Structure 1
């Protein structure tokens, strides 16, 4: 018996590789005998199947992102600077809530995409001369601040999904 077969039988309990098992299950890196990856529960990886409830959650968050963008666009210009802070707090709350509700980075990406597309469409000038966002510093802070909040929430959601621990420097 060759060395590769001995190692394979030793890792699978002497039964040899399973028929149709992925190559990783036969001794690949970070593989377990049952075909899963080490340290990850089944169905929690990036390739986990989408359930109808999760798809509905993503669609709901996409629509809520558009609604928050419209409301923020109206509020940020009306009550400067308090309206700007309120609009950014609403966007940040939606992004953070989406990440916590779905437990995935997609919980931030869906409302972030809805928010960004809506803000871009509302800032486009029309032939009639109508536009919702004027060229003021508050408008740019709202646009850049919303994008920064989405990136911060997505990074935090990714770190939580990977199981990153809080670190203390100097201790």
Structure 2
């Protein structure tokens, strides 16, 4: 059921995803090996945190959608020739790795709620 609080949480996750995409775009090329790892860890933390905070896969999907929207909008070159993504391996790893991390977080199985016993009876 969609409540106002849940809708606000999804809007916040969308905004956090966009911010993570912008900062990851800037960091991954600035401090190449460490910045790339930091940017991918930020995407993983955001998507997994969205999953756990909302208790639904939609939390991971919404945060990944914000990340992807920001990254796609920052990908093309400007008319002046400026760009944020170079044609290096790091940029491709960030784009593809971030997408794979987001998909993995969105498809994780849900753990049972605390206090719920499994349906299988042990003897």
TM tier relative to shorter chain = 0.7 to 0.9
Q: Show the counterpart of 1:142.
A: 94
Higher helix share: 2
Give 1 or 2 for the bigger CA radius of gyration. 1
SS at match of 1:125: coil
- Kept in 2, the 8 Å contact 1:104–1:161? The answer is no
Alpha-carbon distance in 1 for matches of 2:77, 2:111: 40
State which drifts further: 144-153 or 126-135. Answer: 126-135
Higher relative contact order (CA 8 A, sep 6+): 2
Structure 2: 5+ residue stretches without partners = 114-123
Does residue 107 (structure 1) correspond to residue 107 (structure 2)? The answer is no
Q: Show the counterpart of 2:110.
A: 160
Compute the RMSD of aligned alpha carbons: 1.4
1:122-155 C-alpha deviation (Å, 9 max, x unpaired)? 0111212222111110000000011101111111
Q: Show the counterpart of 2:37.
A: 85
Alpha-carbon distance in 2 for matches of 1:128, 1:58: 36
- Kept in 2, the 8 Å contact 1:62–1:113? The answer is yes
TM-score, normalised to structure 2, is 0.87
Q: Show the counterpart of 1:54.
A: 6
**CA shift for structure 1 position 161:** 6.6
Structure 1 runs (4+) deviating above 6 angstroms are none
- Kept in 2, the 8 Å contact 1:133–1:139? The answer is yes
Alpha-carbon distance in 2 for matches of 1:50, 1:143: 31
TM-score, normalised to structure 1, is 0.63
- Kept in 2, the 8 Å contact 1:103–1:161? The answer is no
**CA shift for structure 1 position 110:** 0.7
